[in-house]
Structure 1
Amino acid sequence: MKTHYLSLAALAAAMVVPGQAQAKAGDVQVKLLATLVAPDGKITDVKYDGLSLPAGTQSKANDNVTPTIAVEYFVTDNVSLETIAGVTQHDVDGAGALAGAELVSDVKIIPATLTLKYHFGRDGGIQPYVGAGPSYFFFIDEKPGVTTRGLGATRQKINDKFGAAVQAGIDIPVNDKGLAVSFDAKRYFLRPTATWYAGTTEVLQTKHKLDPWVISAGVAFRF
């Protein structure tokens, strides 16, 4: 047991040994990340139902893993602005009374995001951070799913939507050249509206709780 505690102490000490200077005002950091996007997708309101959905109809968006890039500018030694770039693709499937049904097919999402971050930690050691900021979700190329096409829908649209994001993460220095390993978690909050059409006629409109978790891991390069 004593050896175990000594090993943990040695690991903790190694993580704070100076090996990379703390970020300075004017620095730019670029992160290359693998990102899990895990949305909710629950229906919060049925605004119009011309398809006569069964009682208890619910929905869930599927998860996806996608590459993302984050670019960060340090306004001060501890405060930075960060934006991310990436595209993720999802289906929205039925739950409850429509379990297994496909409602929306292959919607592509661009989550334009800007967060203001505050970095903690010792100079040269690990750098935890927290952040928050606005987002704007672009929904592209969405189509009715197999089930909603079978019910008569020929076109589907999810409205682009403002939202907000909070985040927390940690950058762990690898060397004194600005290389680090990065772990990041964001939670978004937004309520888009989905509309299905038969030709030009609206046949179904629902409001959804999207609220995805966006969890990333990768490498960071600071210049």
Structure 2
Amino acid sequence: MFKHLLPSLLIGAAAAGFAAPAHAGNSDGSFQVKVLGTAVLPDGGITSVVTNTVGAPATSQSRATDSIVPTIAAEMFLTPNLSVETICCITPHDVRGEGPLNGARLVDNAIILPATVTLKYHAELGGGFKPYVGAGATHFFIFGEDVGTSAAALGATSVNLSNEWGLVVQAGVDLPLNDNGLGFTLDAKRYFVDTTASFRAGNTVALRTEHSLDPWVISAGLSYRF
């Protein structure tokens, strides 16, 4: 579904930018919106095992699958060089086993809403070329997770991935496409977020593990400043 939505969103943003009256867009405006295609690439795994009544091997490891989704960003410029940005997206992921559990389906259909706010510094290098760096805070809301078939075969009947706070750093560049506020954006973020995975058999916690998620989030798309 996300792959089908993305081209439509990008085309719509481009049309809106070109169709807007000349006075509406402003390359030095106080607000900017972006429509992006985003790759979410988790780069973490199990950091500790808290409870293990199912006898999972001590060297077991796991990894969340990658995801490609559309993203919307909204940005307010406090000064010509400082801005505050937030993003809106949801990203679906599965969790698969590695090491002794290689290929095991542990968690299916986990949805992450990464509520994120960053403070960004924009450099002026001439010709409209504006690289930036930023940092901020995030809160991962995780919902919809289902027990994977391999975990169910071990007796798990439910699974929960905890919501957690974390940190994020970013870097990117804005490039103008015309004088009316339309531009192109490249953006890279690295999140540092953990979660606790709790697998239950009935009312009993059978397996509880601490995980680092730590995704790279790479985006590209169109911006409109006004």
1:83 to 65, 81, 86: 86
Deviations 1:146-169 (A, max 9, x none): 110000001000110000000000
Q: Which structure would you say has the larger Rg?
A: 1
Other structure's SS at 1:148 match: helix
**Residue aligning to 2:4:** none
Give the letter for the 2:84 counterpart: L
CA displacement, residues 84-136 of structure 1 (integer Å, 9 cap, x when unaligned): 00000001100000001011111000000000000002455111000000000
Where structure 1 has 5 or more consecutive residues not aligned to the other structure, the ranges are 1-19
1:38 and 2:41 are equivalent in the alignment: yes
Question: Given residue 107 of structure 1, which amino acid in structure 2 is its aligned partner?
Answer: A
User: Once the two structures are superposed, what CA deviation does each residue of 1:146-201 show, in whole Å capped at 9, x if it has no partner?
Assistant: 11000000100011000000000000000000000000000000111110111221
Q: Is the Cα–Cα contact under 8 Å of residues 44 and 213 in structure 2 kept in the other structure?
A: yes
State the secondary structure of the residue aligned to 2:102.
coil
Q: Any idea what SS the aligned residue of 1:190 has?
A: strand
Q: Is 1:214 the equivalent of 2:209?
A: no
- CA drift of 1:21 comes to 6.6
Alpha-carbon distance in 2 for matches of 1:40, 1:206? 16
Q: Corresponding residue for 1:23?
A: 28
- The unaligned stretches of length 5 or more in structure 2 are 1-24
Judge which range, 48-57 or 168-177, deviates more. Answer: 48-57
| Over 6 Å off, 4+ runs | none
Report the AA paired with residue 54 of structure 1: P
Give the TM-score taking structure 2 as reference length: 0.87
Q: Percent identity?
A: 50
Deviates more, 1:140-149 or 1:178-187: 140-149
Q: Are the equivalent residues in 1 in contact too, given 2:27–2:225 (CA < 8 A)?
A: no
Matched, 1:134 2:137: yes
Partner residue in 2 for 1:71: 74
- 2:189 partner amino acid: K
Q: Compared with structure 1, are the counterparts of its residues 106 and 64 closer, same or farther at alpha carbon in structure 2 (3 Å cutoff)?
A: same
For normalisation by structure 1, the TM-score amounts to 0.88
Post-superposition offset of 1:55? 3.3
CA distance in 2: counterparts of 1:129 and 1:211, whole angstroms: 21
Note the aligned Cα RMSD (angstroms).
1.3
Q: Is this contact kept in 1: 2:194–2:212, CA < 8 A? A: yes
Alignment counterpart, residue 58 of structure 1, candidates 42, 61, 64:
61
Amino acid at match of 1:212: P
Q: Which residue of 1 aligns with 2:166?
A: 163
1:12-51, CA deviations, whole angstroms, 9 ceiling, x for partnerless residues? xxxxxxxx97535xx1100000000001241000000011
Residue 146 (structure 2) aligns with: 143
